[in-house]
Chain A
Amino acid sequence: MAEIALKSLAHSYLPNPTKPGDYAIREMNHVWQQGGAYALLGPSGCGKSTLLNIISGLLEPSSGEVLFDGERVNSLPPEARNIAQVFQFPVVYDTMTVYDNLAFPLRNVKTPEDRVHERVMEVADALELTPHLKRKAKNLSADEKQKVSMGRGLVRDDVSAILFDEPLTVIDPQLKWKLRRKLKEIHQRFEITMVYVTHDQLEASTFADKIAVMYEGQVVQFGTPRELFEAPNHTFVGYFIGSPGMNFIDVSLRNGRVMAGETELHIGREIAKALQDVRTTNVKLGIRPEFIEVHDTAVEGSMAVDVEHVQDLGTYSILYLKLGETSLKARIEEEQDAPVGKAYLRFPNDRVGLYVDEFRVEVPHE
Chain B
Amino acid sequence: MNKVQNNRAWWLILPMLLLVAFSAIIPLMTVVNYSVQDVFDANTRFFTGTEWFKEMLNDPALQAAVLRQFAFSLTVLAIEVPLGIGIALIMPKRGWQASAVLILVTMPLLIPWNVVGSIWQIFTRGDIGLMGWSLRELGYGYNITASPVDAWATIILMDVWHWTPLIALLCYSGLRSIPDAYYQAARIDRASQWAVFRHIQLPKLTNVLVIGVLLRFMHSFMIYAEPFVLTGGGPGSSTTFLSQSLTTMAIGQQDLGPSAAFSLIYFLIILLVSWVFYTAIMNMQKDKKQEGA
Q: Is B41 an interface residue (CB 8 A)?
A: no
Q: A135-B287, A139-B287 are in contact. Are A83 and B203 (CB under 8 A)?
A: no
The secondary-structure label for the interface of chain B is helix
Q: Which residue in A77, A85, A89, A96 is a CB contact (below 8 Å) of B199? A: A96
Mask, A323-360, CB within 8 Å of B = 1, is: 00000000000000000000000000000000000000
Give the residues from 164 to 186 in chain B that come closer than 8 angstroms, CB to CB, to chain A: 179, 181-182, 184-185
Question: Could you tell me which B residues sit within 8 Å of A by CB distance?
Answer: 179, 181-182, 184-185, 187-192, 195, 199-200, 202-204, 284-288, 290, 293
Determine the chain B residues whose CB is within 8 A of the CB of A58 once the complex forms: 184, 187-188
- Smallest CB gap from A86: residue in B: B185
| Bound-complex Cα distance A58 to B182 (A) | 12
Determine the chain B residues whose CB is within 8 A of the CB of A134 once the complex forms: 288, 290
Q: Which residue in B179, B182, B191, B288 is a CB contact (below 8 Å) of A104? A: B191
B189 with A77: CB separation less than 8 A: no
Given contacts A79-B188, A91-B182, A105-B190, could you give 19 more A-B pairs where the C-beta distance is less than 8 Å?
Answer: A58-B184, A89-B179, A89-B181, A91-B185, A93-B199, A93-B200, A94-B285, A95-B202, A95-B203, A104-B191, A104-B195, A105-B188, A108-B189, A108-B190, A109-B190, A136-B285, A136-B287, A138-B285, A152-B189
- Smallest CB gap from A149: residue in B: B185
Q: A87-B181, A87-B185, A91-B185 are in contact. Are A135 and B190 (CB under 8 A)?
A: no
Q: Is A130 an interface residue (CB 8 A)?
A: no
B293 with A88: CB separation less than 8 A: no
B190 with A93: CB separation less than 8 A: no
State how many angstroms separate the Cβ of B240 from the closest Cβ of chain A.
41
Mind listing 11 A-B residue pairs with CB under 8 Å?
A58-B184, A78-B184, A85-B184, A85-B188, A87-B185, A93-B199, A95-B284, A96-B199, A104-B191, A136-B286, A152-B185
- Give me the 9 closest cross-chain CB pairs, A-B, nearest first: A91-B185, A105-B189, A87-B181, A93-B199, A95-B203, A108-B190, A79-B190, A94-B203, A78-B187
Q: Is A74 an interface residue (CB 8 A)?
A: no
Determine the chain A residues whose CB is within 8 A of the CB of B184 once the complex forms: 53, 58, 78, 85, 87
Q: A95-B285, A135-B287 are in contact. Are A108 and B203 (CB under 8 A)?
A: no
Determine the chain B residues whose CB is within 8 A of the CB of A88 once the complex forms: 181
Q: Is A84 an interface residue (CB 8 A)?
A: yes
Give the residues from 129 to 164 in chain A that come closer than 8 angstroms, CB to CB, to chain B: 134-136, 138-139, 149, 152-153
Q: Select the residue from B181, B190, B284 with max chain A CB neighbours within 10 A.
A: B190
State how many angstroms separate the Cβ of A73 from the closest Cβ of chain B.
14
| Bound-complex Cα distance A93 to B201 (A) | 10
| Bound-complex Cα distance A109 to B189 (A) | 9
Determine the chain B residues whose CB is within 8 A of the CB of A218 once the complex forms: none
Q: Is A56 an interface residue (CB 8 A)?
A: yes
Determine the chain A residues whose CB is within 8 A of the CB of B293 once the complex forms: 135
B195 with A78: CB separation less than 8 A: no
- Smallest CB gap from B181: residue in A: A87
Q: Which residue in A77, A135, A136, A152 is a CB contact (below 8 Å) of B187? A: A77
- Smallest CB gap from B191: residue in A: A108
A108 with B199: CB separation less than 8 A: no
Determine the chain A residues whose CB is within 8 A of the CB of B284 once the complex forms: 95
A104 with B189: CB separation less than 8 A: yes
Q: A135-B293, A138-B285 are in contact. Are A78 and B188 (CB under 8 A)?
A: yes
- Smallest CB gap from A138: residue in B: B285
Determine the chain A residues whose CB is within 8 A of the CB of B203 once the complex forms: 93-95, 138
State how many angstroms separate the Cβ of A55 from the closest Cβ of chain B.
11
Q: A91-B182, A134-B290, A136-B287 are in contact. Are A84 and B188 (CB under 8 A)?
A: yes
State how many angstroms separate the Cβ of B178 from the closest Cβ of chain A.
10
Determine the chain A residues whose CB is within 8 A of the CB of B200 once the complex forms: 93
Q: A95-B285, A138-B285 are in contact. Are A79 and B187 (CB under 8 A)?
A: yes
State how many angstroms separate the Cβ of B208 from the closest Cβ of chain A.
14
| Bound-complex Cα distance A95 to B185 (A) | 16
| Bound-complex Cα distance A77 to B191 (A) | 12
Q: Select the residue from A56, A85, A95, A152 with max chain B CB neighbours within 10 A.
A: A95
Give the residues from 97 to 112 in chain A that come closer than 8 angstroms, CB to CB, to chain B: 104-105, 108-109
Q: Select the residue from B188, B199, B287 with max chain A CB neighbours within 10 A.
A: B188
| Bound-complex Cα distance A85 to B285 (A) | 27
State how many angstroms separate the Cβ of A285 from the closest Cβ of chain B.
44
Q: Select the residue from A94, A109, A152 with max chain B CB neighbours within 10 A.
A: A94
State how many angstroms separate the Cβ of B284 from the closest Cβ of chain A.
8
Determine the chain B residues whose CB is within 8 A of the CB of A104 once the complex forms: 189, 191, 195, 199
Q: Which residue in B188, B191, B204, B285 is a CB contact (below 8 Å) of A56? A: B188
